[in-house]
């Protein structure tokens, strides 16, 4: 698998895709969606779709695609090659959500959570298939969140396509298994050959699985914690693992959407606290306010340097 | 999600980010002292404020800081916690001399300025007299007498008013030229009105300019200047606060201040609580069929008849 497009800039999300097989533009097709790398604190999350004509579903079974979790890495590689060779009737597309994209989405002012991000990645891929002329009739998805709601959302979004959302869909439908293999292979490659945009010198690439409970991952996170910047972009800052380490080990950073309460917050927000109303009238200080030209521009006199 | 972060007390830092005119920072002649920060008496607040003397004390600059919450600097390979931006801008030293001249003026005598401009708390104030403008501009605010080679000065209120009025006019012109919103109701300079304020009249500009100049003179002078400009005084901002709710005593029968009957009407329906926690939401979804309501446990038992 060639991840060159993603590696060129792994700070943003990237789409990779196979050529569209001609049969898929004429015959009714089914499509499977699955993701890899939802839980880890390190590396990208990859969404994958795989599609083929409904009539050729059984050919997929012959390839012995199965749930990617039950396969070894070598077996997955092997199966991906088989899928890629079956390009006469099988197509695939991937959306690689970089860890930086995930961090920024989840930590921005208007929070964009992981479920919404996942749903939108899946919708984007299905739309891509439709836009490319794939005659979609059936879509199978492994669920994210409650299956019923997700199914309703997707059905409404794509009228005329029969959507089936099922937990464990990757072991039930071969087309979903195929998608899960594509996604997992891409994620493995991306993590293994991660190109750090940061200048870290010789990076210790022994970061384990990337899952928060992996001791190797944890010690790697401790090793690469910078007191000012935190982590390289390879780390999902929005994960509580990363955040609690930052809270305890890094320099505190304050943002204006930090939640604070009480007197101090009121002072910050520049509004009078409740308590001040009770002492009103007593302490009318004689000091006069600077002209609004200065206050509007946040300009102050300095007492000392 | 995160624990409450504590902001450590402001540690002393030894550098600042500043914008200054080239003239303020360059060292002109050999032997000159070079630019230096000094603390002087602020003519408006009477408290210490920071100023800068250009090289050789030839020019005075005031120092103001742009200061907003949640700002820091990245400077080269370092982080600076203090996110302020200092502006070092030229200032007319006469503003700083005025309080001293006025004080001495009460005695009504002509005096050499060297004798007048002295301050135990701010000894650096004598350096103001070395500013190149000072000797040439003292006559704007004081009467002059020359005896032999020595000059004597006496503060003059009329002259000062004339000088300040000119300052206000100049400022008003500058405000117009730089398109500064002087009308009321503008809260933020970043908020741009779609319509240019054509309704901002001459008086608005004058009043705004007067306010600006007042940041450099005492309260008393500011009021005098307002009179001299022929602008009526406006009510103090304190009166803009809502009136106190205290009911005035009167002989008339007391009526309820609010209409409580609205709570009895049918369209006053209790609104459901706006936000539910995730736990409450999942509880709300629970299948309640076949469950007794809570109140059922407290109501008297209804005898079920056996058939």
Taking an 8 Å cut-off on Cβ atoms, the answer to whether B64 and A294 are in contact is yes
Smallest Cβ–Cβ distance between A302 and the set B6, B64, B188 belongs to B64
Could you tell me if B52 and B38 are in contact, meaning their C-beta atoms sit under 8 angstroms apart?
yes
Q: What is the pLDDT of residue B8?
A: 47
Residues of chain A with pLDDT > 90, as a percent, come to: 41
Spell out the residues 6+ positions from residue A29 whose beta carbon is closer than 8 angstroms to its own.
Answer: A51, A52, A53, A54, A134, A135, A136, A137, A138
Does the structure show a pLDDT above 90 at B260? no
Does the structure show a pLDDT above 80 at A92? yes
Of A29 and B15, the structure prediction assigns the larger pLDDT to A29
Q: What is the pLDDT of residue B4?
A: 41
Taking an 8 Å cut-off on Cβ atoms, the answer to whether A304 and B48 are in contact is yes
The rounded mean pLDDT for chain B is 79
Residues of chain B with pLDDT > 70, as a percent, come to: 71
Asked if A291 reaches chain B (Cβ–Cβ under 8 Å), the answer is yes
Least confident of B36-45, B214-223, B297-306: B297-306
Q: What is the pLDDT of residue A206?
A: 82
Taking an 8 Å cut-off on Cβ atoms, the answer to whether A296 and B187 are in contact is yes
d(CA B223, nearest CA chain A) in Å: 13
Spell out the residues 6+ positions from residue A266 whose beta carbon is closer than 8 angstroms to its own.
Answer: A272, A273
Residue carrying the six token digits 């020595």: B150
Q: What is the pLDDT of residue B122?
A: 92
Smallest Cβ–Cβ distance between B219 and the set A243, A247, A288 belongs to A288
Taking an 8 Å cut-off on Cβ atoms, the answer to whether B66 and A297 are in contact is yes
Asked if B5 reaches chain A (Cβ–Cβ under 8 Å), the answer is yes
- Confidence class of residue A238 from pLDDT cuts 50, 70 and 90? very high
d(CA A178, CA A2): 18
Asked if A301 reaches chain B (Cβ–Cβ under 8 Å), the answer is yes
Relative to beta strand A29-36, strand A136-142 is parallel
Does the structure show a pLDDT above 70 at A292? yes
Q: What is the pLDDT of residue B191?
A: 55
Asked if B90 reaches chain A (Cβ–Cβ under 8 Å), the answer is no
Taking an 8 Å cut-off on Cβ atoms, the answer to whether B5 and A299 are in contact is no
The rounded mean pLDDT for chain A is 85
Of A202 and B121, the structure prediction assigns the larger pLDDT to B121
Q: What is the pLDDT of residue B74?
A: 94
* Average confidence (pLDDT) over A273-292: 61
Of A291 and B282, the structure prediction assigns the larger pLDDT to A291
Asked if A271 reaches chain B (Cβ–Cβ under 8 Å), the answer is no
ipTM: 0.75
Q: What is the pLDDT of residue B87?
A: 94
* Average confidence (pLDDT) over A81-91: 88
Asked if A292 reaches chain B (Cβ–Cβ under 8 Å), the answer is yes
Asked if A199 reaches chain B (Cβ–Cβ under 8 Å), the answer is no
Q: Per-residue pLDDT tens for B41-56? A: 999 988 999 999 988 7
**In B, which residues are within 8 Å of A260 by CB distance?**
4
SS (H, E, C) chain A: CCCHHHHHCCCCCEEEECCCCHHHHHCCEEEEEEEECCCCCECCEEEEEEEEEHHHHHHHHHCCCCCHHHCCHHHHHHHHHHHHHCCCCCEEEEEEECHHHHHHHHHCCCCCCHHHHHHHHHHHHHHHHHHCCCCEEEEEEECCCCHHHHHHHHHHHCCCCEEEEECCHHHHCHHHHHHHHHHHHHHHHHHHCCCCCCCCCCCCCCCCCCCCCCHHHHHHHHHCCECCCECCCCECCCCHHHHHHHHHHCCCCCCCCCCCCHHHHHHHCCCCCHHHHCCCCCCCCCCCCCCHHHHHCCEEECCCC
Taking an 8 Å cut-off on Cβ atoms, the answer to whether B69 and A243 are in contact is no
Taking an 8 Å cut-off on Cβ atoms, the answer to whether A298 and B67 are in contact is yes
Eight-class DSSP state of B111 = B
Hey, which residues 28-87 in chain B have their CB within 8 Å of chain A?
A: 37, 39, 42, 44-45, 47-50, 63-70, 79, 86-87
Q: What is the pLDDT of residue A275?
A: 61
Could you tell me if A116 and A102 are in contact, meaning their C-beta atoms sit under 8 angstroms apart?
no
* Average confidence (pLDDT) over B106-134: 89
Supply the angle between the helices B219-229 and B157-177 in degrees, to the nearest 10.
Answer: 80
Taking an 8 Å cut-off on Cβ atoms, the answer to whether A252 and B64 are in contact is no
Instruction: Please name the helix (run of DSSP H) or strand (run of DSSP E) that holds residue B79, with its range, or none.
Output: strand B78-80
A45-53: strand order across its sheet: A14-17, A91-97, A45-53, A29-36, A136-142, A162-166
**In B, which residues are within 8 Å of A272 by CB distance?**
none
Token pair of A65 as six digits: 């695609």
Does the structure show a pLDDT above 60 at B271? no
Taking an 8 Å cut-off on Cβ atoms, the answer to whether B49 and A228 are in contact is no
Q: What is the pLDDT of residue B204?
A: 87
Does the structure show a pLDDT above 50 at A58? yes
Q: What is the pLDDT of residue B253?
A: 62
Hey, which residues 211-230 in chain A have their CB within 8 Å of chain B?
A: 228
SS (H, E, C) B25-46: HCCCCCCCCCCEEEEEECCCCC
- Confidence class of residue A46 from pLDDT cuts 50, 70 and 90? very high
Smallest Cβ–Cβ distance between A305 and the set B7, B16, B180 belongs to B16
Taking an 8 Å cut-off on Cβ atoms, the answer to whether A256 and B70 are in contact is yes
Taking an 8 Å cut-off on Cβ atoms, the answer to whether A254 and B64 are in contact is no
Taking an 8 Å cut-off on Cβ atoms, the answer to whether A301 and B39 are in contact is no
* Average confidence (pLDDT) over A288-304: 87
Least confident of A202-206, A248-252, B275-279: B275-279
Q: Per-residue pLDDT tens for B171-204? A: 999 999 988 888 765 445 555 555 555 556 788 8
d(CA A237, CA A41): 8
Q: What is the pLDDT of residue B200?
A: 66
Q: What is the pLDDT of residue A283?
A: 43
**In B, which residues are within 8 Å of A303 by CB distance?**
39, 47-50
d(CA B4, nearest CA chain A) in Å: 8
Q: Per-residue pLDDT tens for A175-226? A: 999 999 999 999 988 888 888 888 777 777 788 888 999 999 999 999 899 9
Q: What is the pLDDT of residue A10?
A: 79
Supply the angle between the helices B157-177 and B202-214 in degrees, to the nearest 10.
Answer: 120
Identity of the highest mean pLDDT range in A193-197, A244-248, A270-274: A244-248
């Amino acid at each position: 698998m060639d991840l060159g497009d993603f590696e060129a800039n792994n700070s943003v999300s990237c789409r990779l895709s196979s050529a569209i097989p001609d049969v898929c533009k004429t015959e009714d097709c089914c499509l499977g969606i699955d993701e890899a790398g939802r839980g880890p604190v390190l590396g990208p999350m990859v969404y994958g779709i795989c599609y083929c004509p409904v009539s050729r579903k059984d050919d997929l079974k012959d390839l012995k695609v199965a749930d990617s979790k039950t396969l070894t890495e070598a077996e997955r590689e092997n199966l991906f090659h088989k899928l890629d060779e079956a390009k006469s009737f099988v197509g695939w597309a991937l959306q690689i959500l970089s860890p930086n994209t995930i961090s920024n989405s989840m930590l921005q002012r208007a929070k964009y959570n992981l479920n919404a991000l996942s749903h939108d990645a899946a919708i984007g891929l299905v739309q891509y298939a439709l836009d490319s002329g794939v005659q979609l009739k059936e879509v199978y998805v492994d669920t994210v969140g409650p299956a019923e709601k997700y199914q309703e959302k997707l059905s409404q979004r794509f009228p005329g396509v029969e959507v089936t959302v099922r937990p464990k869909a990757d072991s039930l439908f071969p087309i979903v298994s195929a998608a899960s293999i594509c996604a997992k292979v891409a994620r493995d490659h991306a993590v293994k050959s991660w190109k750090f945009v940061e200048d870290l010198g010789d990076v210790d690439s022994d970061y384990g699985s990337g899952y928060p409970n992996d001791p190797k991952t944890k010690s790697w996170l401790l090793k690469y914690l910078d007191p000012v910047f935190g982590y390289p972009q390879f780390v999902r800052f929005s994960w509580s693992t990363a955040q609690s380490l930052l809270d305890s080990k890094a320099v505190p950073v304050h943002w204006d959407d930090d939640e604070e309460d009480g007197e101090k917050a009121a002072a910050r927000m520049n509004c009078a606290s409740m308590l001040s109303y009770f002492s009103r009238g007593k302490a009318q200080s004689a000091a006069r306010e600077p002209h609004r030209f200065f206050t509007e521009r946040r300009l102050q006199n300095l007492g000392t340097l | 999600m995160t624990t409450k972060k504590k902001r450590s007390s402001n540690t002393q830092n030894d550098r600042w980010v500043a914008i200054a005119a080239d003239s303020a920072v360059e060292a002109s002649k050999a032997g000159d002292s070079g630019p230096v920060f000094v603390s002087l008496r602020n003519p408006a607040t009477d408290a210490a404020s920071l100023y800068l003397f250009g090289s050789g004390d030839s020019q005075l600059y005031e120092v103001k800081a742009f200061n907003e919450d949640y700002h820091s600097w990245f400077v080269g390979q370092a982080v600076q916690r203090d996110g302020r931006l200092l502006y070092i801008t030229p200032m007319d030293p006469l503003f700083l001399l005025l309080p001293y001249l006025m004080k001495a003026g009460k005695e009504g005598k002509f005096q050499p300025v060297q004798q007048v401009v002295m301050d135990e708390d701010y000894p650096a104030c004598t350096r103001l007299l070395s500013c190149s403008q000072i000797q040439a501009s003292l006559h704007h605010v004081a009467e002059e007498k020359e005896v032999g080679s020595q000059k004597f000065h006496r503060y003059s209120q009329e002259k000062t008013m004339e000088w300040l009025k000119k300052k206000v006019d100049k400022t008003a012109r500058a405000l117009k030229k730089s398109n500064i919103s002087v009308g009321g109701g503008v809260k933020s300079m970043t908020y741009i009105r779609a319509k240019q304020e054509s309704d901002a009249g001459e008086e608005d500009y004058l009043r705004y300019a007067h306010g600006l100049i007042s940041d450099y003179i005492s309260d008393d002078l500011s009021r005098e200047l307002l009179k001299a400009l022929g602008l009526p005084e406006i009510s103090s901002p304190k009166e803009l606060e809502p009136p106190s709710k205290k009911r005035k005593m009167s002989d008339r029968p007391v009526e309820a201040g609010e209409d409580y009957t609205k709570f009895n009407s049918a369209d006053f329906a209790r609104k459901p609580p706006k936000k539910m926690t995730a736990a409450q939401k999942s509880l709300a979804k629970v299948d309640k069929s076949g469950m007794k309501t809570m109140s059922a446990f407290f109501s008297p038992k209804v005898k079920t008849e056996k058939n």
